[in-house]
Amino acid sequence: MARQDNTVRPGSSTAAVHGGRAPDRPWPRGMTTPVFQSSTYELDGAAYEDIARTGGTETWWYSRLGNPTVDAVAAKVAALEGAPAAQAFASGMAAITATVMTAAPPGGRIVAARELYGEAFTLLDQVVPESGRSVTFVAMSDLEAWRRELPGADAAYVETLSNPMLRVADLPTIAGLARDHGATAIVDSTFASPVNVRPLEHGFDLVVHSATKYLGGHSDLMAGVVAGSEPLVARITAIAKTFGGCLDPLTAATLDRSLKTLVLRMERHNDNALAIARWLRAQDQVEAVSYPLLDDHPDVALARTLLAGGSGIVTFRAEGGDARAGALMDALSLIVQATSLGGVESLVSAPYNTSHRQLSADQRSAIGILPGTLRLSVGVEDVADLIDDLGAALTASAPAVSGDRAGYR
Ligand code: PLP
């Protein structure tokens, strides 16, 4: 577990650049965090004493249990989220797994939004129940359902902006209900990033990220983070040490470097995505566009009060179902077909055969993923070039498309 670096002033841009510097004495005082590429550390009297006294929580003595470079990047994320503490992981799913398993003990119950990233849904729908915890799913925007289900629950779990339909969670209300019933409020804020909202300021106890996405930002690493209060994060860290999904120091250093430009990147992602959402909305062949700051988004009022920006994802549906969606993706020349998001390059994927392939067609349509749905992760390129690419692909894919593209990836 890493503690927030209290020497950092509160502005997000300052925290992104200066937060979480690893101690590099007695080496030269470099501008960057050193990569402590060591699996183990020489033990001395102080280390043995800490191991005996605390189990070794204050000392670095074996890298699965803690590493200075990894802890430095976790401290930077803690600073960005305004959290007292954070723990880094090898992936977003490792962070989510350790977090939900800690928040609800065996025999406990989690209330989760049904609109979730596919793998997180599978974790909660299938894996977590096998471990003796039960999970109740509610529609994310149905506050009555949260109110009904939260009494007696151990944890609430939701995404700030749901993947892929971009519904906006009513963070203050859900956090308030969880608090009223003594449940730990957990939010996956991967899609929003701490630049667009800091969920702990709205009452959430824990915020998790797939740092693979915006925090990493360059499609070159896998990582996850959870941030929150020291006691809660310490409990998650204790489980994480046993689960073993630890981040490696080289990746931590890459993530640390990426975070320095997070605020700059997010500003461009926000601007580009809003412009593209508005442009798509004006196209005859586009049946639906979901972007939190569009006037006709069901949660636009909430988005305007909660979010500093709408983030970089635009989900849309062109006429012609999945076959047209596949043809449209094939016709793009700049935007790349790939199933991730949050990088500097624009990526597009069809949730039905990628991020939400684990769901049945009925489960997908219940959360709004209708045939033809595409998830566009808008990068930081020149927005005019992206719009040209989309315009050309819409035209090129316009003729009726035939054939079964069910296996299309
Ligand atoms: N949370 C969200 C919202 C995601 O979109 C993803 C991956 O796409 C994850 C968590 C899982 O993160 P990772 O792939 O880093 O394990």
Q: Is the CB of 93 under 6 A from ligand 1?
A: yes
CA of residue 218 to ligand 1 center, whole Å: 15
Give the least confident one: 7-11, 19-23, 141-145, 327-331.
7-11
| Angstrom distance (rounded) from CA 258 to CA 261 | 6
Q: Is the CB of 135 under 6 A from ligand 1?
A: no
What does the pLDDT look like over 99-108, one tens digit per residue?
Answer: 999 999 999 9
Residue 351 CA: distances (Å) to CA of 48, 110, 270, 322:
50, 25, 21, 10
Write out the two tokens for 199. Answer: 């969920």
**pLDDT at residue number 400:** 52
**pLDDT at residue number 401:** 47
Percentage of the chain with pLDDT > 70?
94
Question: Ligand 1 atom 13: the closest Cα is on which residue?
Answer: 92
Query: Angle of helix 230-243 relative to helix 92-103, nearest 10 degrees?
Result: 110
Which residue among the candidates 3, 64, 109, 278 is catalytic per the annotation? Answer: 64
Which residue among the candidates 154, 170, 188, 299 is catalytic per the annotation? Answer: 188
Write out the two tokens for 73. Answer: 């990047």
**Beta carbons of 109 and 152 less than 8 angstroms apart:** yes
- How much is the pTM? 0.94
CA of residue 191 to ligand 1 center, whole Å: 9
What's the pLDDT band for 405 if we cut at 50, 70, 90?
A: very low
Quick one: average pLDDT of 377-385? 98
CA 308 from centre of chain: 17
Write out the two tokens for 126. Answer: 């299938």
Q: Is the CB of 163 under 6 A from ligand 1?
A: yes
Q: Is the CB of 342 under 6 A from ligand 1?
A: no
Decide if 117 is catalytic. Answer: yes
Edge-to-edge order in the sheet of strand 286-290: 286-290, 313-318, 373-377, 347-349, 336-337
Give the least confident one: 26-40, 196-210, 248-262, 379-393.
26-40
**pLDDT at residue number 343:** 98
CA of residue 343 to ligand 1 center, whole Å: 13
Quick one: average pLDDT of 25-31? 70
Q: Is the CB of 88 under 6 A from ligand 1?
A: no
CB-based contacts of 231, cutoff 8 Å, min separation 6: none
For 273, what's the count of Cα atoms within 13 Å in the CB-facing half-sphere?
36
